[in-house]
Each structure stands twice: as C-alpha cells, then as structure tokens.
Amino acid sequence: MKRKLTTKFIEGQKPNPSKRLDFLDELMPGLVLRISTSGTKTFCLHKRINGKMRRLTIGRFGVVSLAEARKRVQQV
C-alpha cells in the first residue's frame, strides 16, 4: 500500500496475524515500512541494483526514526 508515512501512523499500525504488511512511503520513493506477523516494524529500501529489485534493511522502527530512515534512503 502506498501512503504518506508518519510516526503517528506507524505507531498506530497493528500486525495482521495472517500476512506481512508493506507500506510504501509517498514522500520518499523506495522507502518501505514492513510490519511482520509478530508486529516487528522495519524500514527497508527497495532499489533496483544490476537490473534486479533488491530489499535493503535500514533498521527497526524505534531504533531508527522515520526522519533517519528517509535520510538514509537519500544517501543510497
């Protein structure tokens, strides 16, 4: 799902016990918030490298803020 990620939105998201959820950030192309079935919230970067889509883990929400995740995506 594509939407504007905010800290309030991320904190309010509950895990789905049957499937993993991915939210693409509208403000920063490539930034993805992944919520596992256990509730772990992780920032990832989806990027094409050598013609193949790759997922690079940035860090867990709480350890890495949304602003820091966006900054790291810009640097890559």
pLDDT, tens digit, 9 for 90 and up, residues 29-55? 999 999 999 999 999 999 988 999 999
Q: How far apart are CA 47 and CA 74, in angstroms?
A: 12
Condensed to tens digits (0 to 9), the pLDDT of residues 63-76 reads 999 999 999 999 98
Q: What residue spans define the domains of the chain?
A: 2-75
0.85 surpassed by pTM: yes
Q: Which amino acid is at 41?
A: K
Residue type, position 69, single letter = A
pLDDT of residue 1 exceeding 90: no
Closest of 76, 26, 27 to residue 55, by C-alpha: 76
The CATH code belonging to domain 2-75 is: 3.30.160.390
Confidence of residue 23 (pLDDT cuts 50, 70, 90): very high
